[in-house]
């Protein structure tokens, strides 16, 4: 491990194995993670057990999807020399801590997690009335606390889970800490939510089928841009438009240089440029971003075992750290694995 690692604050975050990642995943999380590697001691986890909280009936793709996520992480520049990249299910300590947390967590705490009710109402195609689904924020708390993480980079939607994690840490410390807290109370590091529209103008999301994938080859990126929706006020080429009301304009704001942005702003508002030209510039910006990632990705696509081995080695390092925490946890609960003589006996 790099010198000074022990003095850096520790970060843990996780991503569900949804398969290939899209630009929304990059802007909403991955890009931010890449930028944290030097400053923090980072643990990044493919949370494959979390995938089962909603998709338990068919697990045939979990491993493949996890590997795809690993490809994209490595392609985006997460560096196994700088951070620990691993699979959740390879570190059984997460499950052990989750079990212990389940003993001390009042049901009401889980039932009032905002995502719980919302998803149970919205997702109709599968039965989410399971124990695992109710408990999944607790599994997330275990993911975080088994590393005694100080900071958790997440989007807005996950802040309530980190808040719950702090409540669990506090409750555990109150029961078992004997004046010396076992767990820190981790903070959310809110990822600034850039508004990233998909090709149909709605938020980019796998479930909407409007994504641009990090692994999309240049012609696919250009084709997707061509059919992307624009400012509805620009019906004809001669109509002026407004990049602030246009999904393509939003892409420019995130991915294009200031010069290009200036040309878009001026050209769109004066009808000096057409949408086709404007979109080709947006495609240029995306291709410039994605090219180096796709270069790095090739190596892993050609030899998936390389990526597997990197995450497998990361999982060993994660187990080491998680194992240290579990020793503290068991000791605090008077359940260490060491022999202790029954009271009143000297042996």
Q: Which residue is nearest to ligand TRP (CB)?
A: 14
**Binding segment toward ligand TRP, per CB under 6 A, in 122-130, 138-146, 217-225, 250-258:** 138-146
Residue 152 partner contact from ligand TRP, ligand SF4, none using kind-dependent CB cut-offs of 5 to 8 Å: ligand TRP
Tokens (6 digits) for 180: 């010396």
Residue 234 partner contact from ligand SF4, ligand TRP, none using kind-dependent CB cut-offs of 5 to 8 Å: ligand SF4
Distance from the first to the final alpha carbon of the chain: 41
Quote the least distance from Cβ 268 to ligand SF4, whole Å.
Answer: 3
Tokens (6 digits) for 188: 């959310």
- Binding residue (CB under 6 A) for ligand TRP from 47, 52, 70, 248: 47
Phi-psi region of 99 (alpha: psi -120 to 50; beta: other; left: phi over 0): alpha
Tokens (6 digits) for 43: 């643990």
Q: Where are the beta strands (DSSP E) in 186-331?
A: 187-190
- Neighbouring CB atoms inside 10 A of 207's CB total 7
Residue 314 partner contact from ligand TRP, ligand SF4, none using kind-dependent CB cut-offs of 5 to 8 Å: none
Total residues interacting with ligand TRP, rule: CB under 6 A: 12
**CB 177, CB 169: distance < 8 Å:** no
- Binding residue (CB under 6 A) for ligand TRP from 10, 11, 14, 214: 14
What H or E segment, with its residue span, contains residue 41?
A: strand 41-46
Give yes or no for residue 144 binding ligand TRP (CB under 6 A).
yes
Q: Interface with ligand SF4 by CB under 6 A: which residues?
A: 230-231, 234, 241, 243, 246, 248-249, 264, 268, 273, 275, 278-279
Quote the least distance from Cβ 252 to ligand SF4, whole Å.
Answer: 7
Give yes or no for residue 154 binding ligand TRP (CB under 6 A).
yes
DSSP for 215-237, written as a single string: T--HHHHHHHHHT----TT--ST
In angstroms, what CA-CA distances link 294 with 164, 169, 211, 345? 38, 40, 17, 66
d(CA 199, CA 32): 23
- Binding residue (CB under 6 A) for ligand TRP from 10, 50, 148, 297: 50
Give yes or no for residue 113 binding ligand TRP (CB under 6 A).
no
Interacting residues with ligand TRP (CB under 6 A): 12-14, 16, 47, 50, 140, 143-144, 152, 154, 158
């Amino acid at each position: 491990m790099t010198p000074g690692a022990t003095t850096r604050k520790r970060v843990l975050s996780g991503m569900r194995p949804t398969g290939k990642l899209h630009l929304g995943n990059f802007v909403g999380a991955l890009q931010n993670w890449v930028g944290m590697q030097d400053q923090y001691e980072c643990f990044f986890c493919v949370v494959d057990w979390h995938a089962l909280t909603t998709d338990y009936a068919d697990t045939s793709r979990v491993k493949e999807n996890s590997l795809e996520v690993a490809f994209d992480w490595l392609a985006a520049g997460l560096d196994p020399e700088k951070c620990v990249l691993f699979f959740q299910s390879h570190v059984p300590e997460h499950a052990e801590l989750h079990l212990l947390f389940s003993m001390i967590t009042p049901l009401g705490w889980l039932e009032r997690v905002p995502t719980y009710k919302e998803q149970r109402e919205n997702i109709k195609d599968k039965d989410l009335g399971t124990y695992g689904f109710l408990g999944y924020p607790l599994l997330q708390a275990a993911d975080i606390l088994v590393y005694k993480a100080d900071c958790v980079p997440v989007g807005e939607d996950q802040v309530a889970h980190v808040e719950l994690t702090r409540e669990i840490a506090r409750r555990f410390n109150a029961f078992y800490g004997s004046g010396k807290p076992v767990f820190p109370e981790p903070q959310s590091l809110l990822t600034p939510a850039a508004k990233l529209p998909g090709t149909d103008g709605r938020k980019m999301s796998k479930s909407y089928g409007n994504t641009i994938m990090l692994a999309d080859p240049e012609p696919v990126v250009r084709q997707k841009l061509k059919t992307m929706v624009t400012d509805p006020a620009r019906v004809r080429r001669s109509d002026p438009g407004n990049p602030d009301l246009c999904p393509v304009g939003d892409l420019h704001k995130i991915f294009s240089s200031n010069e290009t942005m200036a040309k878009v702003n001026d050209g769109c508002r004066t009808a000096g440029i057409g949408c086709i030209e404007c979109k080709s510039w947006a495609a240029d910006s995306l291709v410039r971003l994605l090219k180096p990632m796709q270069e790095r990705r090739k190596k892993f696509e050609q030899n998936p075992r390389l990526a597997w081995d990197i995450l497998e080695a990361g999982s060993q390092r994660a187990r080491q750290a998680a194992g240290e925490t579990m020793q503290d946890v068991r000791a605090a609960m008077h359940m260490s694995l060491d022999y202790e003589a029954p009271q009143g006996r000297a042996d």
